[in-house]
Amino acid sequence: MDKMQSLQAMLVEPDALELVNRIKSNHDTRSVSVSLTESGQKMIPCVIHAVESIDAKLFGCIDAEKQLQLNALIHEINQKQ
């Protein structure tokens, strides 16, 4: 699955729940602008808390220095893709 298919799959449920707006481009039929609705924006604090909780569970077993090293390695990998 390529990045666009992954992004589209991630947006299906939020779209159905009316958490995002989609606006098709007048100039490029492949292009769609996606933004959060007011309801979607209200969910941001809850989503951030959920992600931080998952991070704590996943990475809580390693100390802060190793977490920083892991983050740096992940960032480096992303930059090379």
| pLDDT at position 19 | 86
Query: What does the block give as tokens for 77?
Result: 């990998």
| pLDDT at position 9 | 65
| pLDDT at position 8 | 64
| pLDDT at position 35 | 92
Closest CA to 40 of 19, 21, 22: 19
In angstroms, the CA 48 to CA 51 distance is 5
Mean pLDDT by runs of 10 across the 81 residues of the chain is 60 75 89 91 91 90 93 93 81
The model scores a pTM over 0.85:
no
**Under 8 Å between Cβ of 54 and 40:** no
Query: What does the block give as tokens for 13?
Result: 């449920």
